[in-house]
Structure 1
């Protein structure tokens, strides 16, 4: 699983670094490896669909020898995460609640409501980030695509985590004080 995470994080920069040196069909091997790692590492159905989507992008890149399918991977990841988080708002416990219960199994009602809002915020983030990932894949240069998907997007994710953590501390303080 760690290998999958590292490959996924490095993916945009690796593709950017290799696009001028190798044909897209050969870079599709990296994308196919991500698909296989995801398929073997998962036990949940939605991640199998993500692996299938990744495999289809890799096959498209191989057969057409095209860079576009390689660049669509970050948009696919955001789409799958939007689906996972969005469906969790409708069915079962929201993703943020499930994660919170790992540390505090007996969440109070106010915390459950808060985790629902956090999951909604992440859904909004995945819409925005996925849209920008798609736009950079379709209309931006490879350099801009790599910069956004390999650096800026991670900075935005880190910022959202940090802001949510700060807000959570204030919410907790109000609940206890």
Structure 2
């Protein structure tokens, strides 16, 4: 059930910009708030021990409450900014309070990471934190100053393409570093 809820949140996040673009004239922001709030609440209740689960859900639920109370269509465009801010906080806080997010993921397949791999995962976590900072700032600028079509294009397509490029680029770099013998197997 927890995986299904996580998947539903991912799908909702992917489709959200297009739902806003096509539905902003026809659907109440309260409906968006109700749907998103239901998913976030269900996720928080089903995964209370996941790192960041409760505070991230709390922030998302606060946003949904504000959206539901105000019924303000302009608030709909702030959701991607919120998500990037939450991911930035998750990655940055993991650097301070450890272990870093990327290290946690790497340890799922290799519990005994060598020191060089731990340093590498820390650096990759910093890169992701930087990405979410920049991506959130771009989404914020588009929310404040760009037409809805530009916002939709960036938050619904370009930002996900950039995430894919960052994933692919890191994977290629990791393979290269491994071939040079600097990293012990991390997959």
8 Å Cα contact 2:37/2:64 also seen in 1:
yes
Instruction: Give the superposition deviation at 1:41.
Output: 3.4
Which residue in the other structure is 2:129 paired with?
A: 123
Distance 1:107 1:96, change over 3 A: same
SS in 2 for 1:72: helix
Distance 1:99 1:45, change over 3 A: closer
Note the aligned Cα RMSD (angstroms). Answer: 1.9
State the alpha-carbon separation in 1 of the partners of residues 55 and 138 from structure 2: 22
Q: 2:107 aligns with which of 86, 101, 106?
A: 101
Structure 1 runs (4+) greater than 3 angstroms displaced: none
- Give aligned pairs, total: 177
| Mapped pair 1:60 → 2:66 | yes
| Mapped pair 1:40 → 2:9 | no
Q: Which moved more, 1:53-62 or 1:5-14?
A: 53-62
| Mapped pair 1:74 → 2:77 | no
1:125-161 per-residue CA deviation (whole Å, 9 max, x = no partner) reads 0100011111122222221111111111100000000
Which residue in the other structure is 1:114 paired with?
A: 120
8 Å Cα contact 1:94/1:116 also seen in 2:
yes
8 Å Cα contact 1:68/1:138 also seen in 2:
no
| Mapped pair 1:167 → 2:177 | no
Normalising by the residue count of structure 2, what TM-score does the alignment of the two structures yield? 0.86
8 Å Cα contact 1:133/1:145 also seen in 2:
yes
1:92-141 per-residue CA deviation (whole Å, 9 max, x = no partner) reads 21111111111111211111111111001001101000111111222222
- Structure 1 stretches of 5 or more lacking a match? none
1:53-110 per-residue CA deviation (whole Å, 9 max, x = no partner) reads 2222222222222123221111111111111111111112111111111111121111
Distance 1:171 1:29, change over 3 A: same
State the alpha-carbon separation in 1 of the partners of residues 53 and 74 from structure 2: 22
Normalising by the residue count of structure 1, what TM-score does the alignment of the two structures yield? 0.91
Q: 2:9 aligns with which of 1, 4, 9?
A: 4
Distance 1:41 1:12, change over 3 A: farther
8 Å Cα contact 1:19/1:27 also seen in 2:
no
State the alpha-carbon separation in 2 of the partners of residues 176 and 53 from structure 1: 40
